[in-house]
Structure 1
Amino acid sequence: MSDDNDYSATVLGSHWISGGPLPVEDVAPDRVDGSVLRFGPGVTAAAVAPFAVVPGGTLTLPAPAPVRRSRWAGLRRYTLAAVVLLAVLGYLAWQRLGPSVAVRDVTVSTAAGGPTCGAAADVLAVVATDGRPGTLTYRWIRSDGTRSEQLTERVARGQHEARLHLLWTFQGTGSYPARAELELLEPARRTAAVEFTYQCSG
């Protein structure tokens, strides 16, 4: 029995050592469907290749689709800029051409005792407004027959009063009753006056 075992082992070893791999015959495919090869039964169809297969050559990848910029994106950008510009122009036009300043009240005052010898009376007119921007046109009229030229005072937005001054200088001795009147011409005609007495005993 030992001889048979040794012989079998020797023959088996000789078979693996001296024998080479069995030749494999080329198997032709059952059929060719485009670029998909099918071998034998039970082989499922492969998905079609997403690129062209060139026999013996290189793979040709599809060219990337060109990036197309939306025309509406550019139009939206220019539209936004146009809206902002129109808003700014509208605001400036409203400030310039909108409702002008309106006068609420006019008062005129001076020091109660009046000026003394060789001094000047500081006559103050306060014009109350509604806070809108605009221009006041006015003049002073004195009781000695003197009229000033037309004067203007610019009021800004949010400014609710304008303070207008008249300096009236007196000289000489004696007593002189005086009257100073503010005549507002624009935006509306209004008048206000104050009376005082100049006294100088010498």
Structure 2
Amino acid sequence: MSNEITLYTNPMSRGQIARWMLEEVGEPYDMVVLDYDVGMKSADYLAINPMGKVPAIVHAGKVVTECAAICAYLADAFPAAGLAPATDGRADYYRWLFFAAGPVEAAITNKALGFAVPEGRERLAGYGTFDHAIDALERAVSGPAWICGDRFTAADVYVGAQVDWGLSFGSIPSRPVFEAYAARLRERPAYKRQKELDNALIAKMQKPA
């Protein structure tokens, strides 16, 4: 019998975030690896995600796309994993989860594309300037443990992936707060499992025929 969750992914993509979240949840899942040129653009997959991008998950017949949404959804769908605070303690959880998915993502992408907000036009950009967004991100992860205090949550998976990847690829500046937060993330067993699984897939895909 197939598992209740199916992950559509490519290991060289943001699919790593969804895989990390699934490893944190601890529920079994099936995986479909799609290539960029054919698999993600097939009619079957476009019926799941019309954007033709990964990741996506299907859980009990329901489709969820967008990494932040996948993290939040899985935390709610599997409460026993303890990856979401109680509803009256979710202010920082929601605030920083969606800040990373919105302003931070836009600021990093625009900088990578060589676009800078013209001086005096900052109000037209949801993130203001790259430096403003990064300074706010630093505030989010400046505590001694996690975004919601002592408790690791799904917000740390998504925000943490932004920080971890940003440091690795130079898309965010190296700062002591970011380095310390990333170091804590990299010690999590689920993070290590995800990296091991996806790195093995990458090595297999890159192996000469």
TM-score range, shorter chain: under 0.3
With a CA cutoff of 8 Å and minimum separation of 6, indicate the structure with the bigger relative contact order: 2
Name the one with the larger helix percent: 2
TM-score normalised to the size of structure 2? 0.16
Pair member with larger Rg: 1
Name the one with the larger strand percent: 1
